[in-house]
Amino acid sequence: MAERERFAHLLRRATFGPTAQEVDAAEKAGFAATVEALVAPGGEDPLGLPALGPDPFTAINRNSSREERQAARKARNEQVQQLTAWWLRRMATAKHQFSEKLVFFWHGHWATSVQKVDSAQLMLKQLNTFRTLGRGDFGALVKAMLRDPALIIWLDGQRNTREAPNENLARELMELFTLGIGGGYTENDVKAAARALTGWTLERTTGQVRLEPKRFDDAEKTILGRTGRFDADGLADLLVAQPVSPRFLASRLWFRFAQGDVVPAEAAQRMVSAYGSGRDVTAMARAMFSDPAFAATRGQLVKQPVEWLVGAVRQLEVNADRQGEVVRALNALDQVPLRPPSVGGWPSGAAWLTTFALQTKLRLAQSLAVNASAAVVDRLAAAPEAGRPEALARLLVVDGWSEATRKVLAPLKVPHRLLTMGLASPEYMVS
């Protein structure tokens, strides 16, 4: 692989879509330094958190009228839209691109949907947990998530009591969050783990989570062969200490950042060693990007709609105030942040490559091209006509065009038509 392609590949995966200038800078800095700048960035990157205000339902009580309830509902929906738009703008503008992409990774991992949580404040709180704890000790993240109000609502944690446990959270905790399917646990382990997670209550409007001792089952449980009076933290410690847990986490990172297939055993081993007893997520990510097997995964991921769209916004320097349109576009592509379709997270791979999605992308590509910055259009127009497909490839950080695509691009003279076909091309859909 040519040297530049190695850097382009790394940046396509670790960011929401690199610009040509970012690839230039990375090439100049060297590979190891680029990986380091991605996983352990220095300098400030202010968040500019959205001013959501309080949950409109705090002012609603039993005596509130129907109109007041409707107004509160409307205000709540607007807050969710405001938060979604803020996050998308953040993805496009964050200096610490990998940190932000890791937040998106965790969002897909814990796959909590605002559709059931129904609160912008609680979703923002969850994102902040990913942001503050998602790059360090995985055990600490799991413990925080077991107290996370949005996750608790999403998986009925507040309904799980000593009297009769609700298994929803316990099952997904093992299957989707820490051990994985086939992770060595049984139905009895799920039932016992549910008992360890009993007793959490939630104050709906303030989002305060509290353990109610009367509802907690403090009797002995046997989970994964160990017997004790497990509670949420004890369960978290037990789960992340399972040898299968780091391998599962490595496979999830690999699945989203490298390739939608099984992580090669040696690469997994190196990632697990780097993660170590400190359960260091950043170290695991660093090992993944530096691994020889990672370089061989070029062209083996399909861009998720968010990656496709935010990447285009970054590369075409589309005005970040057009977020309303971006959200509508993502709705059409079936990937609106904060609304994953299920606890299993977002689809992947060929599931995104459908006739319907293509039709939608063609329309969006036209709209994005029209809204490209004048500087981008000028840069493309400055290239000699014969060289415009190459200039387009550089702009979109595509390694090259197939003969078939080149034949379509070559006769196009108008920059915005070139941009449209470039964004809609097969080469731009895979990463």
Query: Shortest approach of another protein to residue 33 CB, angstroms?
Result: 29
Closest to 173 measured CA to CA, from 141, 203, 219, 129: 141
First vs last C-alpha separation in the chain: 15
Amino acid sitting at position 217? D
The bridge status of strand 208-211 relative to strand 221-223 is unpaired
Which residue, 35 or 120, has its beta carbon nearer to another protein? 120
Residues 6+ apart with CB under 8 A from 99: 41, 45, 131, 135
Which residue, 38 or 329, has its beta carbon nearer to another protein? 329
CA 33/CA 391 separation, integer angstroms:
27
Query: Shortest approach of another protein to residue 349 CB, angstroms?
Result: 7
Query: Shortest approach of another protein to residue 27 CB, angstroms?
Result: 24
Query: Shortest approach of another protein to residue 396 CB, angstroms?
Result: 15
Which residue, 193 or 283, has its beta carbon nearer to another protein? 193
Which residue, 99 or 160, has its beta carbon nearer to another protein? 160
Query: Shortest approach of another protein to residue 45 CB, angstroms?
Result: 32
Contact predicate 207/246, CB 8 Å? no
Per-residue tokens: 98: 């990998």
What is the CB neighbour count within 10 angstroms for residue 23? 21
274: left (phi over 0), alpha (psi -120 to 50) or beta: alpha
Query: Shortest approach of another protein to residue 356 CB, angstroms?
Result: 4
Which residue, 90 or 298, has its beta carbon nearer to another protein? 298
Q: From residue 213, give the alpha-carbon distance in Å to each of 197, 312, 422.
A: 12, 51, 59
CA 239/CA 23 separation, integer angstroms:
40
* CA 329 from centroid of its chain's CA atoms: 18
DSSP string, 100-123: HHHHHHHHHHH---HHHH--HHHH
Which residue, 283 or 343, has its beta carbon nearer to another protein? 343
Query: Shortest approach of another protein to residue 160 CB, angstroms?
Result: 8
Which residue, 35 or 111, has its beta carbon nearer to another protein? 111
Query: Shortest approach of another protein to residue 43 CB, angstroms?
Result: 36
Which residue, 218 or 427, has its beta carbon nearer to another protein? 427
Crossing angle of helices 265-275 and 244-257, rounded to 10°? 110
**Which residues of the shown chain bind another protein in the complex (CB under 8 A)?**
113, 115-116, 154-156, 159-161, 163-168, 171, 175-176, 181, 187, 190, 299-302, 332, 334, 340-344, 347, 349-360, 362-363, 366, 402-405, 407-408, 421, 424-427, 429-430
